[in-house]
Structure 1
Amino acid sequence: MNRKKIIITLCLLTLSFFAEAQDRDTEQIEQLKIAFFTEKLNLSAKEAVRFWPVYNLHNKRYEELRDKEWSTIKSKLEIIETLSQKEAEVLLDNYMSYKQAGVDYREDFVKNLKEVITSKQIMMLKKAEYDFNKKLLKQYQSDKSSNE
């Protein structure tokens, strides 16, 4: 019985260690993103104070939308061959609704951003997001290949 408790405790400690390490990595990526975007958009202190809450809210909501899409649409794609024509039609309608919601959401996001930064900065943001993700992926691939 004592042995089981020790094993369970060790497992929980290990899991919490990995979760904490992942949280640290996520936090570090967020800090790098903030620095990268602030520099690329050439945000003043005043603009940054107004920009980040809008951007962070957008990211949170967009992530929720993607998660919802993933759970309802993409999981069904695994069993698409077994769906009836009617079920596939409902799935397609749901898919198109999510895509439209994404477009509507982006339009709303841009409208909110225009109250904080210029149109040029919004386009610079799109480029900065692309460049940051590319840089992050390159770093991940580099780290992965050096660990092999």
Structure 2
Amino acid sequence: MLLISTTAIAQRGDRSNREERENRIETLFIAYVTDKLELTTDEAAKFWPIYNEIKQERRALEKKKRALINEIDDNMQAMSDQQAQSYVNKVIALEKEINLKSFENRSKEIIAVIGAKRFLLLKKSEVEFRRKMISEFKKKRRRD
């Protein structure tokens, strides 16, 4: 199912369908992780809100960091050392905040729902899913 679905997703190269592709990938990911962790309905109802909250917080911070990097890039030529140091401090502060919002730093919340062993399985499943997706996209490119 995963291979067929990812192939169908990979075939939609149109940027206007980007959000739709992301939603489909997210749906596949949820199904994949739920299956791998063998989450009960009750566990899934508790686990996914925590997981999604962490992910949304990190995405917002990563977006903020990308905007800051773009701002730095735009101002690099005219920047003084003092301004550069100010940007360094901002980047470091954002990276610290991103790290604080990590799954590992909030692992106790997740472990309270799914247990330590399945937390490790979650980390493994995230990597496996990414590898499978990358593999499918590479296969698609070779066919095209």
What's the TM-score, normalizing by structure 1? 0.75
Out of 68, 71, 86, the position equivalent to 1:72 is 68
Structure 1 alignment gaps of length 5 or more: 1-16
Give the deviation of 1:18 after TM superposition.
5.2
**Against the structure 1 CA distance between its residues 83 and 24, is the aligned structure 2 distance closer, same or farther, given a 3 Å change threshold?**
same
SS at match of 1:83: coil
What is the CA RMSD across the aligned residues, in angstroms? 2.2
Q: How many residues align?
A: 130
1:40 corresponding residue in structure 2 = 36
Give 4+ residue runs of structure 1 displaced > 2 Å after superposition: 21-24, 77-84
Deviations 1:99-143 (Å, cap 9, x if unpaired)? 111221125532321332212222211111111112111211221
Question: Quick one: higher RCO (CA 8 Å, sep 6+), 1 or 2?
Answer: 2
* Structure whose residues are more often helix by fraction: 1
2:103 is the alignment partner of 1:140: no
Q: 1:98 aligns with which of 91, 94, 104?
A: 94
Out of 108, 119, 122, the residue aligned to residue 122 of structure 1 is: 119
Alignment TM-score, normalising by the size of structure 2: 0.77
Contact 1:41 1:125 in 2 (8 A): yes
- Which ranges of structure 2 fall in alignment gaps of 5 or more residues? 1-13
